[in-house]
Amino acid sequence: MAAAIALSRRGRGLSTPNPNVGCLIVRDGCVVGRGWTQKGGRPHAEAQALDQAMDRARGGTAYVTLEPCFHLSPRGPRCADLLARAGLARVVIALRDPDPRTDGQGAAHLRGQGVAVDMGLLAQDAAAAMAGFVMRQTRGRPHVTLKLGLSLDGRIALSDGSSRWITGPQARAHAHMERAMHDAILVGAGTLRADAPRLDVRLAGLEARSPRRLALTGGDLPDGWGRISAPQDISTLDRVDHLLVEGGADTAAAFLRAGLVDRLLLYRAPILIGAGLGGIGDIGLADLADAHGRWRLVDERRLGEDRLEVYAAAPSA
């Protein structure tokens, strides 16, 4: 299942509005098919894996990160049907589909066709890999990541605004990879004006993965940019399940004040800046006690000289 979850990440930022599902088919100890949801949502992961496996799927086990769909769509077949017809002996599912059109019916259909079904294996990891889809289904809005590139003392720039470079090439490449895994990137009016950021993916082979560009502003926009006028408007964005907020401080604060940040990406360089610009503006915190218990470290790694820390919002936040 961990391998299926890893496959599912390949579709992140591409498969929207469909969930980025991963699927692995195993028979006699060999992987006979692998699939992940393709660009725009089709084919589904299961269909792709079955195409690879062909008749080797018969009697095998499918590992799929989300319950196979069982609702009719003009865009393709129902995966629960496909899996049953392919003669799989067993289907292991990580996450039950929160989409009410399936929500347990996919598993029920498989069982009805004599397929053994297990559901819940690594469900939390699968949900994290498909965070945008889950957030859209459960709260009707995209999953929001806030990215900050910081010095040890929490500065994102010198007082004059210069920020090239705080982090090193490995951290910047990682940040570009994160861009490729989001449907849209958002900055504030100040950052748009000051930095005229391209916000594209500058990684060899991934140039076409540059996400849509959005600004939180009432002002003018360059060509090719979209706009929202308040953080809450993200729920109205079409085909945006994974949103990356890249700054500046006021925009970060606006999303935090609205409770609309699900994940923090902190790229930290081993430098001190002293007087300079902070990464987050006024979030309306009046009592330190209210700041605690909201963030949980979920990942960390070295990136050259820098360190990446990933925090997830605590469930209550």
**Residue 151 lies near a second copy (rule: CB under 8 A):** yes
Closest approach, Cβ 289 to a second copy, in A, equals 8
Pick the stretch among 49-57, 66-74, 102-110, 289-297 that binds a second copy (CB under 8 A): 289-297
Asked if residues 240 and 120 have their Cβ atoms less than 8 Å apart, the reply is no
Pick the closest to residue 59 from 94, 27, 83, 20 (CA basis).
Answer: 27
Choosing from 150, 180, 185, 244, the residue that interacts with a second copy (CB under 8 A) is: 150
Identity at 236, one-letter amino acid code: T
Closest approach, Cβ 142 to a second copy, in A, equals 20
Residue 55, burial from CB neighbour count under 10 angstroms (0-12, 13-18, 19+): exposed
Largest distance between two CA atoms of the chain = 68
**Residue 272 lies near a second copy (rule: CB under 8 A):** yes
**Residue 297 lies near a second copy (rule: CB under 8 A):** yes
**Residue 145 lies near a second copy (rule: CB under 8 A):** no
Q: How far apart are the C-alpha atoms of 57 and 73, rounded to whole Å?
A: 24
Choosing from 21, 25, 144, 264, the residue that interacts with a second copy (CB under 8 A) is: 264
Q: How far apart are the C-alpha atoms of 217 and 229, rounded to whole Å?
A: 6
Q: How far apart are the C-alpha atoms of 147 and 167, rounded to whole Å?
A: 13
**Residue 219 lies near a second copy (rule: CB under 8 A):** no
**Residue 305 lies near a second copy (rule: CB under 8 A):** yes
Asked if residues 94 and 4 have their Cβ atoms less than 8 Å apart, the reply is yes
Choosing from 154, 197, 226, 304, the residue that interacts with a second copy (CB under 8 A) is: 154
Asked if residues 263 and 254 have their Cβ atoms less than 8 Å apart, the reply is no
Asked if residues 143 and 241 have their Cβ atoms less than 8 Å apart, the reply is yes
Closest approach, Cβ 317 to a second copy, in A, equals 11
Q: How far apart are the C-alpha atoms of 282 and 280, rounded to whole Å?
A: 7
Give 194 or 206: the residue with its C-beta nearer to a second copy. 194
**Residue 282 lies near a second copy (rule: CB under 8 A):** yes
Choosing from 163, 176, 194, 227, the residue that interacts with a second copy (CB under 8 A) is: 163
Asked if residues 163 and 171 have their Cβ atoms less than 8 Å apart, the reply is no
Structure tokens at 43: 């084919």
**Residue 253 lies near a second copy (rule: CB under 8 A):** yes
**Residue 304 lies near a second copy (rule: CB under 8 A):** no
**Residue 130 lies near a second copy (rule: CB under 8 A):** no
**Residue 296 lies near a second copy (rule: CB under 8 A):** yes
Q: Is 46 annotated in the active site?
A: yes
Choosing from 155, 179, 242, 263, the residue that interacts with a second copy (CB under 8 A) is: 155
Structure tokens at 229: 């006028």
Catalytic residue numbers, as ranges = 46
Binding residues for a second copy (CB under 8 A)? 148, 150-155, 158, 162-166, 253, 256, 264, 266, 269-276, 278-286, 288, 291-292, 294-297, 305, 307, 309, 311
